[in-house]
Structure 1
């Protein structure tokens, strides 16, 4: 073994295990190996990262915006580029641009923009998340009620486009039938249940039909009750269902973050940001479907107080989750990298084993992000 670059740090988390006093060998944008420092090839370029820990880049499947750009308002190739650049600064190296309930032409433009980003080889973009419009009126949250509707044949065709990479569709059984869920799942679409008042039995029927996850667990869904477990209870008690969770300190109480982790574990909890345009940007106001969203103390709301996405970046979310739950830090890192990558079927992301794309984060002893590599290229921060 020879050549490449050897990244040195006090420890390396490869997505499954913590390896101390080793070097991460990368070459041509891929991970070659993790080796003891004494076994670094003599012709490899050594780089002391000054890091306490190297870990995989974060994978976020719910990103509405960032850097002053909201995908619904700017569903373009340029919009995606700005959003991805904003989140790369906070350790997200793979993401799904997310378009929420809107007019059909906005969803169509978002799909085309993602197709162009993938065709251009955008290193961060692997697909798209359509969060609505096939959701529940009763649990619509900040989604515009005027655009909510049942799923149609045309919607099936858009969601199953072959040029969109990994597609996540958040739907509710109220507006997407079991047959809709079966058909989408068979077409390769990852169906996630969310914005739904479905009861326990209905939710479990949807999981049996092919739904594989829930969108922002606890938020905008039928909640836990000792006589009616609801969608949240169905998700937590279903051994193969992934649970997206927003760890911003506003969407979910710390005690419920801990409860979710105890119930579902770090192999089923996937941290998401649900980030809006305010992440990585100074403006405290922006527009969503003609309504003004205001940021105050890290909380985003419209005029009536309804939460409107989050002001969360993934590195902050990891720290909040670790502090709330007292879980081993590498387990929380897994929820932001390895677990979502597995959920999305991304076999070369979320880990640092041989053959993985070299998406790497360097953290200091205070769990502060100091460097980011995407496909082996160190990013400007």
Structure 2
């Protein structure tokens, strides 16, 4: 067995713990975990320290919906290397943990994606925490960029497969009107995080899904029944139901900032809205085109779309979403940082191990400049 690594300290930066800002404090690391957060003057003698030279040290970002990046599309590369490649592409932009996202595809390809993430997690590939399966049990009416030919009801075999992935963290997006409450209950009881998305459901149908254990909505406002004055739809249910978390694509393309600001003011807690990238291969890559379900997607003006104008994922990274949340959505910096880390961790049931700088938490950290650009990241204490 290798010798235990010595304690080491990070000093010289302002710290955001997930709850408050601290000055003149240090983060004490014990391997891949945080051992303590204490005044820099109180560091134990003999502990090696690194002066970060200013900046803001915050919990690393957690992206619960990332389809690709750095030229990689997870649907086209459902391997451990593909999953790890997506995580690696987003690490320089502050993402220290992510769920590679497999969108609606054939059952055999989905099985490969699950096996790939299982292998990546077992091998401790940096940044890969689990998988997000977005589809195929969706609404054709709200298909977005998903291939309608592959959208289908959830069978008993599908349900069994979702309950036997061998993964601790599985997020599944389903349409509330096409998946039964009994199926939602079985998934939730089996530890799967159920999210409502690509759904034309009524508010009552979403509430019924929440009663059965659904706990999230996927990319609020996009590909779901809208908020109308007599038919509040999925959007209304998500904002009014305190049990439902909601991912938002904060890029000014998918949803107008006015709508997102209104949603943030309206959201009933304790569940919150949190940031996702919904990133595709061009994120972190110079390439402007890729193929999705046999159709060409082009990047233009910050948007990724098919030739008919349908949006197909996002050209977004979590640091850019954080800056948008502060500058355009008028969120206090601490709240925007929670939207990028603590809230997605809590949504996934990992709020006791990720999303904070505190003793016992994973040493997943990001160092930011005053302009909220990323200087460094640590995953389990390693840069």
TM-score by length of 1: 0.96
Q: How does 1:167-178 map to 2 (within 5 A)?
A: 167-178=170-181
Structure 1 distance, partners of 2:54, 2:154, is 48
- Relative to structure 1, the CA distance from residue 239 to residue 267 in structure 2 (aligned partners, 3 Å threshold; closer, same or farther) is closer
Of residues 320, 330, 351 in structure 1, which corresponds to 2:324? 320
- Relative to structure 1, the CA distance from residue 77 to residue 10 in structure 2 (aligned partners, 3 Å threshold; closer, same or farther) is closer
Residue 190 of structure 1 corresponds to 193
Q: How does 1:28-107 map to 2 (within 5 A)?
A: 28-107=31-110
Residue 248 of structure 1 corresponds to 251
Conserved? CA contact 2:87–2:126, under 8 Å: no
Partner SS, residue 260 of structure 1? helix
Of residues 270, 273, 278 in structure 2, which corresponds to 1:269? 273
Of residues 362, 365, 369 in structure 1, which corresponds to 2:367? 362
Conserved? CA contact 2:84–2:128, under 8 Å: no
Partner SS, residue 113 of structure 1? helix
Point out where structure 2 has 5 or more consecutive residues left out of the alignment. Answer: none
Of residues 288, 299, 317 in structure 2, which corresponds to 1:284? 288
RMSD of aligned Cα (Å): 1.4
Residue 121 of structure 1 corresponds to 124
Residue 205 of structure 2 corresponds to 202
Structure 1 distance, partners of 2:6, 2:162, is 43
Structure 1 distance, partners of 2:79, 2:329, is 38
Name which of structure 1's ranges 306-315 and 30-39 shifts more when overlaid on structure 2. 30-39
Q: How does 1:152-167 map to 2 (within 5 A)?
A: 152-167=155-170
Conserved? CA contact 1:257–1:321, under 8 Å: no
Conserved? CA contact 2:114–2:165, under 8 Å: no
Structure 1 distance, partners of 2:50, 2:123, is 30
* 1:333 matched to 2:329: no
Q: By how many angstroms is 1:153 displaced?
A: 1.1
Residue 110 of structure 1 corresponds to 113
Q: By how many angstroms is 1:345 displaced?
A: 1.3
